[in-house]
Structure 1
Amino acid sequence: MKAILLLLCFFPLWASAQLRDDFADGNFTANPAWTGDAASFQVATQQLQSNGPAATGTQIALSTPCQASTGTVWEFWANLKLATSSGNLADVWLMATQADLKNTNNTGYFVRLGGTADEVSLFRKDSTRAAVLVIDGVDGTLASTTNNLVRVRVTRTTANRWTLERDLTGGRTFVAEAAQPIDGTYQRSAYFGVSLLYSSANNRAFAFDDFVVSDATPPLLARAIAVDSRQLDVVFNEAMDAATATNPANYRLQSGAVPTAARFFSAANAMAVRLTFGADFATQNVLEARNVADLYGNVAAGPLTAAFAGPPAAPQVGDLIISEIFADETPQVGLPLSEYVEIYNRSTTKVISLSGVKLGKPTSTTAFAVFADTAKLLPGQYAVVCGSTRISQFTQPGVKVYGPTNFPSLSNGGDQLVLRARDGRTLFEVTYSDTWYRDPKKKDGGWSLEMIDANSFCGGAENWTASTDPLGGTPGKANAVRATLADATAPTLLRAVALNATTVRAYFSEKLDSVSAAIAGRYALAAPGPAVVRAAPIGPDFRQVDLTLGTALQPSRPTTLTVQTATDCVGNASGPLQSAALALPEAAVSGDVVINELLFNPRTGGVRFVEVLNRSSKFINLQGWQIGNQKPDGSVDADVLSPGPLVLTPGQLLAFSTSSSNLLAYYPASSDAANLVQLSSFPTFPDESTALLFNSVGIEIDQLAYSKNLHLSLLSSQEGVSLERIRANGLSNGSNFHSAASAVGYATPGRPNSQAQDTPGGNQELTVTPEVFTPDDDGQQDFATLNYQLDQPGYAATVTVYDALGRLTRRLVRNETLPTTGFVQWDGVDDRGRKAAVGYYILLVELFRPSSGEKREYKKTVVLGARF
């Protein structure tokens, strides 16, 4: 008996068939309505038959709505009156997401009748890809060339196990294929239908009948997922009845909470229900569902249960950190040849959402890498983060891997890495260096840097070291070097700088808690100084705080910044008040800052340095200043002294080089680490040139024409010997510089010069100091100085040294115009570069004023001695 019946899911429990069509009504346009290539099909003798164009390669299809997907039985009758082949076959779509079954983007499952193997098989179709064989039927099942009669039954359980059965007589004595695989790739369906491919002679060779799709299985609760603190998405294994699935009374948490609202997640998806609750979820929850029915009236009395954690939380400072860095992948030790960083959820209870979290280098112009909205980390979970094309290299069981676009390139020698929240807040910062490996072999590559104690995540070099794992690192796993390394040290105030009249920047020894550091009441300037009205910690490392003042500072007027307390990012707070002196810098003019010491010929393995001295009463900011030397072609080889604020106080000196540690090693007793500044690059400073000092806008502040001839000729070697300024207020010329004393190791970087002399006092016109000198470069009376103070400008002078017998020993000055005050030095060397003999000497000074013709002559006695 033929019957026509289509029952949808909104009817009572007595309905067991969701789709039934035996074409007894003589059409396929109603009860149910099939759409597609309608002109290419007909109903004849109560069967659906093909009637398409007689053209080889033609594909025709019909489909009808059907949402049955799991816990379902599909059955149909077919007769293919042809010899099946790759160009003559029929696909019966059990589940399809699109009405157009010929669309290559369609997804779902279909039974294929025929094909090259003349079989009945089950396939899965993934979007745009070739169909995947799920159950491979016995070859030759449909071997007739004129009459391939078959009835097919396919069953899918709620556990996603598939069974394919057939009866080649068209009856119901089914024979099952041996394979019964599990495939749960697709859980949703929208259409059922047939798709035919044929050659020109077979356009009317396909017939179908008795389509029945049945679901007599109650629905299951697949999962529950917290969307936020009060919304929950509930997912069933099949399409649900709206009346029961969207009834809030059918749901509750085991804690007793019931939802205030329930609705389908979207109109196109009747498998997912969004529940809204009136209070926040606990960390762990269990949802219960009762008396919910599927689209076909099958009721699950329940309770159906699903456990779920509280919603993924946006990370806060200290939750998400970088715990491992692999910057130098060669030579390979055991890790993949790909850079990576490892991130870690420090929380023991919180699931962290990585949605919108950014990873990158703040100094780079490349956009930050951004994690996908679905990315998350469970409590205590690690994850590898690498380039998007390198994910497969780190994929292994138990290891979570993320490969966001724009993964930053990691510099081998060191770099700064930052994790930022979706709203731009800094979550974590690390500025690593290859010195952190603490192992010269591992520093060369193939080994990762691992954090030692994740609870001391604010630490720097002391909390990182090279991995000890035999593979070279532990990507996605607990670090091999993990150990307790508690941070109990409170931050200290290092210095303070006035950036402008109303802004003071405070520098601290470690990363601060950005919230407490922003409390303006913790900072004060010495009375009657201006009030601090705002405090702004500077990211990404929060070692600096910019303070806004209520009124302006006065230039070069010293004051003191006091910090009541400072708290680092792990909670250590400083105790007593801390303070730092500062003043508003003012512009320097030529001669305010001078070159005070120069080492241009270092020892083997040593580095060059230049020391500058502020001989003014001003506070001077050296930010953007440059030091350099003039090259033979007239150009200048220069480097910046400081890209950031660096204030030189009155009388202060600073020595600049490429390695402060090198200067401390070569001059351990005569250098001061507090006054050494390390630069990344430095001018060449050959043996003869002009050293130049420029301010931030390129104006020359000082210059010194130097050469190796300025050194004491009695030195056995000039290597590692600096030239020191003799008088701070003297001219920047060769006569005001002398070789540093041997007693201090031949240089004084960051310390007062060993050969410095104060300007002599008194009103004498000409004086010689000391009266006895010993030119042995021991730093004590190494040269004699003729100091002069003239009554008026315009004198030209000649200064000559004679021994006690009146013999010419040395011409010091020849017809040089002199300023009104100054000095001339004699180092005890004669005109032939040899040390003069011990004894008495006469310094003959001849002064002449060309404007008036006036002449003066003076004789001064000095003794050249020797130490015994």
Structure 2
Amino acid sequence: MIKNILPLSILLCISFFNLKAQLIEDDFSDGDLTIDAEWTGDNDDFIINEIFQLQLNFEDETLVPSYISTLAETTSLDEKEWRFDVSLDFSPSNSNKVVIYLVSTSSDLRDYENTGSVQEGYYLEIGENGSEDGISLFYRNGNDTELIVRGGDGDFASAFDVRIRVRRDATANWEIAVDPKKGEDFTTIATANEPRFNETGYIGFICYFTSSRSNSFYFDNVYLGDYAFDTIPPEILEYEILNSNEMQIVFTEEVSSASASNVNNYLLTPGDIQPNTIQHNEDSVWLSFDNSFESGLDYMLAVENISDSEGNLSESDSIEFFYFEVEQAEIGDVIISEFFPDPTPVLGLPDEEFVEIYNRSDKFLDLEDWAFSDNTSSAGTLPSYILRPGEYLILASSSAEQGYAEFGNVLVPSSWRALNNGSDSVTIKNAKGIQIDGLGYDLNWYQDEEKAEGGFSIEIINPKLACFDLNNWRASEATAGGTPGSENSIADFDLTGNPPEIIFFKATSKTQLEIEFDKRMNLNSLLNAEYIITPEIGIVEVLVEEGLDKTVNLNLANELLNGINYEISIDTVKDCNGNIAENLKSSLLYDTIPPELDSLLFMSDSILLLTFDKHLDTLSAENLENYDLSPEILLQEARLWSENQVILIWENDWIAGFPYTLTLDSISDLSGNPILNFKQEIILRSPAKPGFNDVIIMEVMANPNEDQELPYRQYVEIYNPSDKLFSLTDMKYMDERDTVSLGLNYIEAGEYLLLAPSAGVEDLGTYARVIGLSPWPNLNNRGDDLQLITDETIVNQAFYRDNWYKEDFKFDEGGWSLEMIDVQNPCLGFSNWSASRADAQGTPGAENSVREKNIDQTGPELEKAFALNATEVIAYFNEVIDITQIRRNQFNISPEIRIESVEMLDLSSVKLSLADELKPKVRYGLTANNLTDCVGNIIITEGNKVSFALAELPEQGDVVLNELLYDQKSGGADFIELLNISDKFINLREWTVEGSSDSSVILENENVIIAPGQHLTLTTDKESTIKDYPTSHNAENIVEANLPTLTNGEGIVRITSANKELKEHLEYSDDMHLPFLRTVDGVSLERIHPEAPINEADSWSSAASAVGYATPGKANSQFTNENISFGNIEANPKTFAHNQPGRNFTLINYRLDDVGTIATVKIFDMKGTVITTLANNETLSNSGFFRWDGVDFSGRKVRTGYYIIYFELFTAEGNKRVIKERVAVGF
């Protein structure tokens, strides 16, 4: 069934009808109560809502009826018409009713409540007690009312939304009509003759309501004027396809039966078909055709000459529709055409999984109750959706729906089971539970090792292939990572796939051989192929079971002989896609000796690894019935771990020291030879779990090169330096971003073991045993933080950086591994690592090429401490410390704070939990004693104490911008200096600095405390800053941080604290520097006083040449400790010099009693010549200062000598005052 509402150019409002004259017309679309009509009354109780209706919105606590009215000016009510839309979303009553005044002599529609009222007019009322509510017309005369006429009982008994029309002709005949569709199909419900009053006045509405209905009255499209006549012809409003040969059309109004029932007014194409029968009722017609609509065809129905009751004839109109019939899906009609199991990293698609399906049939299919699932038992069902022939549809979770909607149509199953990155299965079943399509994938499907790391979907190449072919799938080539909802980026409809191959050839009995192919095969080609066995042995029958067209069984005339190698040769066979393979060969060694158990290894107290002397048959090895433990513990899983190893997992732990008997039965090798009733006595030997440095990260290949001798793979080598075998079952490997379990595994004494991406296991397997990890935490070329951890401890870490290579060219060209130098010193870091020296550029699985003695005889140092909160402090050391020796009595805090416990955060930092709370504004000392690094060196006395404090939140003015270098020396670095002028210790973490063009979060991941009175410089390159200002810096107060670009010439700097309470904003420019400087390169701007107004040019000065033009981390060279605004008018200092240390300017401070004083400030030499003007008729604040740098009008330095500061003041009352001050300028 197809239903559609057509877009119309008609709005059903009064303005579309022929109006002779109108007094009031207001549809409230202007959102105003004063433009189209000026409404007065209780205006505060009404609003124009979001759909432009006048709505009651009463909010006062005391309930009183609310009214609103507007004036209509005319000479009489003759030949007048009222129209309005009225909506009440409740059943009216006497307490909740509406009164509509058609005319009132008073604008106050409730004037009749007053004694002696002379209000006169007519009104409608809807609402009364009981269930027979109707509409009534009343005449009002002062305090009296009289019912004129009433509509039908119960017409308005329920909630309603109608259009009401009232007409009065020249002889005072009244007519009340209603259209429930709010159109022009009015039904007259009451008439009367009432001539007593014939004057116009005010119209409006009164709402009577209880508290629950105080916002439930709605009015719209108010009209008063001459009669309105319908001149608009009917148009098609909507249509519906009822079945294969019937449809319904609904018009915008009631249409005439003669025009609607005329078959000549309808023509269906293609075919130029007219309906054979037509039924008509008011605004609707039903058309029936002799012939059925054809599924999948576009139709157009032309409609013309349809008229309404007023004779308005419609123009030619048409309906276009697409007709289809839903059919049942068969296997393969819909296929999985693309899937996205690993969306990270994000390249252009949402960070969400999806599965795309494709309808490759010519059927229209309804997906209602179809099931989508992975290899879990639960499935998500699909809602109704018509999948068209050739359509691609995206299946995704509800959280992914919006993101994928921009790529195509999205359908959300009732539940979404996450797809495993490494391998999983996906099935699509119809509503009857029949599997329409399914697949089981692994990382090999990408056919691209880099793309297998994530961010790319897996796409089908030719969706038209008759049956599955692994070579028909590979990673997407789209730059976004996939093509959800559209044709695949690798689409090739000519691809037929690769020829079939033999993947398995085995003996199933002494007289039967089985051949398995890598794909479904053509049945006839299997039955008719020529099979040749060498040494020759007769074939009596070729069998292919129905539904197993990948497998052929050959029944032999004679028995196979033990120890003989047999070869099968097949001349020509075809797969299901028609690909032909010729002269296929495979061989087997017929073996009748069963496998034997070689060794046992406990990987935990409930997990046992069995190793056999030959490869095992998977089905028999994983059959739980083939294992029996006495005394019994429930066996949960048997898994083939490698070709000759089986992992057994029990529900509960074994009891230590207790003897158990494990029975193996019917476990077969690949030739079908079974172990029969083999018993093994076993006593649990709990596996050793690695502690600190028991397993060591020995080698890292972070940046492989395609040209290297070693496989083009990242890897991490771990080494067991002990004489114990360790279980790795509880161990995890992690970098800065990701953590992945090493799974069920172990490492033998002295073994080198490789960690690598799952896709690299085969390539690296020739060098050592490999644990394949998926997902693989990708190694960063320039550095990463690698750790081996268990639930109990950090086992080992290697926080490598690019400078560990020691030889830059090896880092630059790639393909060289990083190797540890001395395994006896595994914690040393930089000095114990180097790039490989091996010819192969790495030594996976072997002793490192750089191995030599590298003795560490220096103890650790306590670098810093930070208070996380009032009861937790973190202590940081400069190297790895021995975590097995950490005790709380090794730490002391003064003033004394008791330490309750210590906890290692990583191998070089400790968290101290305090019994007592730290106090703000107190500097504490932390001392560490008797600690050792991981090779036993004890902490040195000179480096065992640091200070810390509890940070407080800043307020405006606590920290100020004190110095700025925006135009650095060549090769140097910009810096920003902050000064803490409060008594608080303040943390700068997450503070932001914004420049003219970009912004940057500074100290994002580090806590930096600025102490009271401390100058702290933030620079992009600490080393350069110290080098550029060797005599004027304090290195302890210089910190490297990300800074925005500080533009030369002019720009802005904004500093904002993390809590947004403190903000410093400076607009700087070269004009703020001393004018006589030849260049400002490498010259900082210094704030002359921390309380000087930040954006006053006189608050800043160039740093003195005597200190090297900048003072990063130290007090400013141009600092004045004088109070800037104190004194009446005073120069400070009275003597200064251009080229001497200290201040090379003077401040002219003033404090005035009068507001609005105007000043002129000039500098004269002793001859009375004006040297420069500092202010000219400038309005002053109550206090402030001017600055003179000892320069003249042209910016040149003045000569040595005395100068007069001339300060001329004019008050608002016209009083004049002149003040003179003498200063001396030296050389």
Shared fold (TM-score, shorter chain, > 0.5): yes
| TM alignment of 1:612-623, pairs within 5 A | 612-623=978-989
Whether 1:534 aligns to 2:904 is no
Matched, 1:692 2:1054: yes
Residue correspondence of structure 1 range 44-63 to structure 2 within 5 A: none
What SS class does the counterpart of residue 1172 from structure 2 fall into? strand
Quote the residue 1:376 is aligned against: 746
Q: Which has the higher contact order (CA 8 A, sep 6+)?
A: 1
Offset of 1:600 from its aligned partner?
0.8
Shift of 1:122: 6.7
Q: Does 1:509 align with 2:883?
A: no
Q: How far apart are the structure 2 equivalents of 1:125 and 1:306?
A: 39
Confirm or deny: 8 A CA contact 1:768 1:862 kept in the other structure.
yes
After superposition, residues 400-799 of structure 1 pair within 5 angstroms as 400-421=769-790, 423=791, 425-446=793-814, 447-517=816-886, 519-527=887-895, 529-538=896-905, 541-574=906-939, 576=941, 578-630=944-996, 637-732=999-1094, 733-759=1096-1122, 765-776=1128-1139, 780-781=1141-1142, 783-788=1144-1149, 790=1151, 794=1155, 797-799=1159-1161
Equivalent residue number for residue 692 of structure 2:
317
- Distance in 1 (alpha carbons) for counterparts of 2:697 and 2:504: 42
Shift of 1:723: 0.9
Q: Which residue of 1 aligns with 2:551?
A: none
CA-CA distance at 1:264 after TM superposition = 12
Q: What aligned pairs does 1:249-260 form with structure 2 within 5 A after superposition?
A: none
1:599 offset after TM fit, Å? 0.9
TM-score after normalising by structure 1: 0.65
Q: How many Å separate the matches in 2 of 1:399 and 1:594?
A: 60
Q: Secondary structure of the residue that 1:389 maps to in structure 2?
A: helix
Does the 8 Å CA contact 1:772/1:865 hold for their aligned counterparts? yes
User: How much does 1:748 deviate?
Assistant: 2.1
Alpha carbons of structure 1 residues 846 and 346: separation in structure 2 relative to 1, 3 Å: farther
**Aligned amino acid, residue 931 of structure 2:** A
How far off is 1:681 after superposition? 4.8
Contact 1:312/1:376 (8 A) holds in 2: no
Asked if structure 2 preserves the Cα contact closer than 8 Å seen for 1:106 and 1:128, the reply is: no
CA shift for structure 1 position 649: 0.5
Does the residue aligned with 2:857 lie in a helix, a strand or coil?
coil
- CA contact under 8 A between 2:821 and 2:848: conserved in structure 1? yes
Please tell me whether the aligned partners of residues 226 and 311 of structure 1 are also in contact (alpha carbons under 8 angstroms).
no
2:787–2:797 contact (8 Å) kept in structure 1? yes
* Superimposed CA distance per residue, residues 19-66 of structure 1 (whole angstroms, 9 cap, x where no aligned partner): xxxxxxxxxxxxxxxxxxxxxxxxxxxxxxxxxxxxxxxxxxxxxxxx
- The 1:485–1:824 alpha-carbon spacing in structure 2 relative to 1, beyond 3 Å, is farther
Deviation at 1:144, TM superposition (A): 14
Deviation sequence 1:104-154 (CA, Å, 0-9, x none):
9999624687xxxxxxx97787999999xx995234867999xx9997454
Local SS of the residue matching 1:444: helix
Query: How far off is 1:781 after superposition?
Result: 4.5
The amino acid across from 2:769 in the alignment is K
Aligned partner of residue 799 in structure 1, secondary structure? strand
Shift in CA distance, 655/268, structure 1 to aligned 2, threshold 3 Å: closer
Amino acid at match of 1:748: T
Relative to 1, partners in 2 of residues 1:382 and 1:818: Cα closer, same or farther, differing over 3 Å?
Answer: farther
Shift of 1:715: 1.9
Residues 668-709 of structure 1: per-residue CA shift (max 9 Å, x gap): 333333222212453444431232211102334322221011
Amino acid at match of 1:750: G
Alpha-carbon distance in structure 2 between the residues aligned to 1:345 and 1:150: 52
1:751, CA displacement in angstroms? 2.4
**SS at 2:831 equivalent:** helix
Q: 1:138 aligns with which of 523, 531, 535?
A: 535
Give 5+ residue unaligned stretches, structure 1: 1-103, 114-120, 165-180, 188-214, 240-244, 249-259, 282-286
For residues 474-518 of structure 1, the C-alpha deviation after alignment (integer angstroms, 9 at most, x for no partner) is: 23322222222233333222222222222222222223344544x
Q: Is the 8 A contact 1:624 1:641 kept in 2?
A: yes
Deviations 1:561-596 (A, max 9, x none): 333443434443325493332332222222211111
Question: Which residue number corresponds to residue 136 of structure 2?
Answer: none
Partner of 1:33: none
Residue 716 of structure 2 is matched in structure 1 by 342
User: Aligned partners of 2:1004 and 2:556: how far apart in 1?
Assistant: 87
**Compared with structure 1, are the counterparts of its residues 278 and 535 closer, same or farther at alpha carbon in structure 2 (3 Å cutoff)?**
closer
Amino acid at match of 1:109: A
C-alpha distance in 1 between matches for 2:827 and 2:505: 50
CA distance in 2, matches of 1:628, 1:693: 7
Query: How many Å apart are 1:227 and its aligned residue?
Result: 1.7
TM-score (norm 2): 0.47
Q: Deviations over 1:385-406 (max 9, x none)?
A: 222222333332x422332111
Q: Aligned Cα RMSD in Å?
A: 5.0
Q: How far apart, CA to CA, are the structure 2 residues paired with 1:589 and 1:639?
A: 19
Amino acid of the residue matched to residue 851 of structure 2? Answer: R
Q: What's the offset of the Cα at 1:844?
A: 1.7
Structure 1 distance, partners of 2:688, 2:514, is: 41
Partner of 1:805: 1167
SS at match of 1:455: coil
Task: Tell me the residue number matched to 1:355.
Answer: 729
Shift of 1:531: 2.0
1:452 & 1:110 partners in 2: Cα distance? 54
Say which SS state the counterpart of residue 462 (structure 1) adopts.
Answer: helix
Q: Give the secondary-structure state (helix, strand or coil) at the position aligned to 1:810.
A: strand
Distance 1:109 1:689, change over 3 A: same
CA distance in 1 between partners of 2:647 and 2:1085 (Å): 83
Partner amino acid for 1:833?
G
Q: Distance between the aligned counterparts of 2:627 and 2:1005, measured in 1?
A: 63
Which deviates the most, 619-628 or 825-834?
825-834
Contact 2:1159 2:1208 in 1 (8 A): yes
Cα 1:144–1:697, aligned 2, differ >3 Å: closer, same or farther? closer
Q: Is the 8 A contact 1:503 1:547 kept in 2?
A: yes
| CA spacing shift, 1:448–1:280, aligned 2, 3 Å | farther
Does the CA-based 8 Å contact 1:112-1:123 persist in structure 2?
no
Q: CA deviation at 1:652?
A: 0.7
CA separation in 1, counterparts of 2:1032 and 2:1073? 19
Deviations, residues 161-210 of structure 1 (Å, cap 9, x unaligned): 7799xxxxxxxxxxxxxxxx9959xx9xxxxxxxxxxxxxxxxxxxxxxx
| CA shift for structure 1 position 770 | 4.6
Amino acid at match of 2:949: A
Q: Per the alignment, do residues 444 and 649 of structure 1 end up closer, same or farther by CA in structure 2, a change over 3 Å counting?
A: same
Deviation at 1:725, TM superposition (A): 1.8
User: For the structure 1 residues 811 and 537, does the alpha-carbon distance in structure 2 shift closer, same or farther, using more than 3 Å as the test?
Assistant: farther
Distance in 1 (CA, whole Å) between partners of 2:636 and 2:787 is 38
CA distance in structure 2 between the partners assigned to 1:349 and 1:524 by the alignment: 39
Q: Write the letter of the residue equivalent to 1:436.
A: W
The letter of the residue matching 1:722 is: S
Deviations 1:724-761 (A, max 9, x none): 12223433232122112233332222222222232269
Aligned residues: 660
Counterparts of 1:263-302 in structure 2, within 5 Å, are: 279=657
Q: Tell me, in whole angstroms, the C-alpha distance in 2 between the residues paired with 1:369 and 1:278.
A: 30
Residue 229 of structure 1 and its aligned partner are, at CA, apart by: 8.3
Q: Give the SS at the match of 1:454.
A: coil
- The structure-2 alpha-carbon separation of the partners of 1:686 and 1:306, relative to structure 1 and needing over 3 Å to count, comes to farther
Return 5+ residue gaps in structure 2 as ranges: 1-501, 543-553, 568-586, 621-625, 640-644, 669-674
